[in-house]
Amino acid sequence: MTTSRRILLAGMAGLAVAPGAAAAPAPAFDGATVAEERFARMIAAAHAPDVACARQAERYADMHWRDYVEAARAVLDARA
Residue 71 has a pLDDT of 86
d(CA 21, CA 39): 13
Residue 16 has a pLDDT of 44
20-58: per-residue pLDDT in tens? Answer: 444 444 555 567 888 888 888 888 888 888 767 888 888
d(CA 32, CA 40): 10
What is this structure's pTM?
0.57
Residue 53 has a pLDDT of 83
Residue 77 has a pLDDT of 87
